[in-house]
Chain A
Amino acid sequence: MRHRSLGLLGIVAFGYAFLYLPILSVMIYSFNDSRLVTLWGGFSLRWYAHLLEDEEVLEAALLSLRIAAVSATVATCLGALVALAMQRLTRLRGRLLLAGMITAPLVMPEIITGLSLLFLFISMAEWIGWPATRGATTITVAHITFSMAYVAVVVRSRLAGMDESLEEAAMDLGGRPLAVFFDITVPMLLPALVSGWLLAFTLSLDDLVISSFVSGPGATTLPMLIFAKVRLGVTPDINAIATIIIALVAVGVVTAALLTRRREGAASS
């Protein structure tokens, strides 16, 4: 038993090391004095100072975060609804069509998704005048559309293995559908909702191809900006902003963990 868990721990450690090796390299080189990304020229904070003056990068980062947060939240709601309907409704008109539409975005090559949505937005603007300009809104719509498919898959597989007796009991006792839904179904689905939200958020934050297609003048997300900069060669200030993002999230996670520990400690004593 002990032997087996040691093996498991080994794989887990390897997995995390694998995920963080390139990140570590990005972080180390953000403190590099040299302009060359692959050559160490001594410790320096100059790229961080450089970053503070660069409003473009900060704006792009904020825009990306805003789009990711909104699209992940909407996608989680819509995707979960689709999963619930497919799994729980006995009668659903056009079930096959819905199944196809919620699966296809998973396998659509990004370039097709981006291009086809661009065509759609152009025709819509001609016919009904919306969207008048392409930018943050159209990017958000595009991101919601493909990320709800991921949420739906995750929620569906959770629902498939879920015990329905609790919900049935609550219904039998006369619980209102909405109340049962929010008091019982949602908490039971929570791990899937959290996973789905994180997936959607990450997909949105990291998307370059689809955003580039459906964006317009004035809306530059961080990956778009980085891509534009990388064309001229990676500069260490991009490493610096990556390091700041990682650091901010890490601090947030640790703080949240400490806060819940303190609250739990206070509750138990």
Chain B
Amino acid sequence: MSDETTTLGGRAQRWLQRAVAFPYVWLLLFFLTPFLIILKISVAEPLVAQPPFTPLFEWGQRGIEGVKLTFENYAFLFQDGYYGIIYLSSLKMAAIGTLLCLLIGYPMAYYIARQPARRRQVLLLAVILPFWISFLLRVYAWIGLLNNRGVINDVLLYLGVIDEPLTMLYNDFAVYLGIVYSYLPFMILPLYANLERLDIDLLDAAADLGARRWQAFIDVTLPLSVPGIIGRVLWDEFFISRDWPVASAVSIILVLLLVAPIVWFQRVETREQEAAR
């Protein structure tokens, strides 16, 4: 590599290279190793035992005497249309949900980023504060509010906007409301970090709508909400049907299907930036 593309001096490069070893090792140990364990389970056969899958290696007196692995769990996933349909419908829900998030979150992040410094901090904390109490409480509160005899219906009935209570629970409306509510701060905070600039003018604001601003949306909010939805299915697979190998295979596929495009997207982006320099 030529020194022209190097934006940091040689010393800084070396320093950063050494420093990044720490998070690197951390991820190898606490992310990659567990991931490999899941990979191992995904090629095992289900077993009615504890743990509920066959071991990968057959241990004998002289060490490993055999390797037992199967790709049936993966084959099963592709034969059974069920998982494909779930994946696609989760993706659709996540996309619509995050789009709704963006409609509310973008103006909010934009507004906060343009306030004086002191007010900015307060507004930012106010966004995140509701999430410092357990989500279970928030869910119960929503159930109470959306109920047929809940506060929202009561108010609307009293005002004469509606004649009979709206059904707002246990349907698509409730799902999207839940998604938007759960991920709104995860939309606002990254957008804010991006929008907050020292030099802001209106032209800049117009440019803010450009491609790079979508990065936070594509990188954080969208991938975050898909596993949130699929997680429910996995829960059933692990603890109700107790088919750990299939559940592991689903996770591996899910992670690969989501990570590959994101990493690719980031690489293209980095290259574009370098080309622009």
Contact = CB atoms under 8 A, between A and B. Distances in A.
B151 A25 contact: yes
A192 B193 contact: yes
B193 A104 contact: no
A227 B139 CA distance: 12
Nearest to B110: A8
Given A25-B144, A160-B212, A257-B122, A100 B259 contact: yes
B264 to A, nearest CB: 10
B126 A16 contact: yes
Contacts of A79: 23
Nearest to A171: B9
Interface on chain B toward A: helix, strand, loop, or mixed SS?
Answer: helix
A178 B15 contact: yes
A62 interface: no
Contacts, number: 307
* A contact residues, range: 35 or more
A221 to B, nearest CB: 10
Given A171-B8, A226-B137, A111 B231 contact: yes
A135 interface: no
Interface in A161-216: 161, 164, 167-168, 171, 176-178, 180-181, 191-192, 194-196, 198-199, 202, 205-206, 208-209
Interface of A: 8-9, 11-12, 14-16, 18-23, 25-26, 29, 37-38, 78-79, 81-82, 84-92, 94, 96, 98-113, 115-117, 119-120, 123, 141-142, 144-145, 148, 150, 153-158, 160-161, 164, 167-168, 171, 176-178, 180-181, 191-192, 194-196, 198-199, 202, 205-206, 208-209, 222-223, 226-227, 230, 234, 238-239, 242, 245-246, 249-250, 253-254, 256-257, 260-261
22 contacts: A15-B104, A20-B130, A22-B142, A37-B140, A89-B16, A91-B1, A102-B27, A104-B255, A107-B254, A107-B262, A112-B38, A117-B30, A119-B34, A123-B37, A145-B30, A154-B190, A158-B193, A176-B11, A202-B128, A208-B134, A208-B135, A257-B121
Given A18-B104, A206-B134, A257-B122, 10 more contacts: A22-B145, A81-B23, A82-B20, A88-B16, A107-B258, A109-B227, A112-B38, A157-B215, A177-B16, A199-B186
